[in-house]
Copies of this chain bind each other. A is one copy, B any other.
Amino acid sequence: MAKLGEFELLVLLSILRQKDAPYANRVREDLEANADRRVTRGALYRTLDRLTEKGFLAWELDPSEVPERGGHPMRRLLVTEDGLAAVRQARDVLATFLDGVDLLPGET
């Protein structure tokens, strides 16, 4: 199974967090706000494409959620089973390594 880059992982996690509104721009806002990282739309869509090619992500056009100010129909993002598995594995590896070390003070 293809492995996840750092950003890819964050994107999948963010999608999973958006329980009721898994749309690209929600994810973008989430990442900018909580991961302290600039995310341009191009960057995000590129990543979504890659995740889709890998089979970690799927989407459907959402006809009900009409955007307030026009634009394309929004894509409702869905993490696949494979995607979930990949996230879990990445989490486990990270947990292992983070666990084995105390870089405690935590405050930057």
Q: Which residues in A have some Cβ–Cβ distance to B below 8 Å?
A: 3-6, 9-10, 13-14, 16-17, 34-37, 84-85, 87-89, 91-94, 96-98, 100-101, 103, 105-106, 108
Alpha-carbon separation in the docked complex, A91 to B93 (Å): 13
Chain A interface helix/strand/loop/mixed: helix
Task: Please state the number of chain copies in the assembly.
Answer: 2
Check if A94 sits within 8 Å of B94, measured CB to CB: yes
Give which listed residue, B5, B36, B98, contacts A93 with CB less than 8 A.
B36
Inside 8 A of A4's CB, which chain B residues have their CB? 6
Q: Can you list 25 A-B contacts (CB < 8 A)?
A: A3-B37, A5-B5, A5-B6, A10-B93, A10-B94, A10-B97, A13-B100, A13-B101, A14-B97, A16-B103, A17-B97, A34-B93, A34-B96, A34-B97, A35-B93, A36-B89, A84-B103, A85-B108, A87-B103, A88-B105, A88-B106, A89-B108, A91-B98, A91-B103, A94-B94
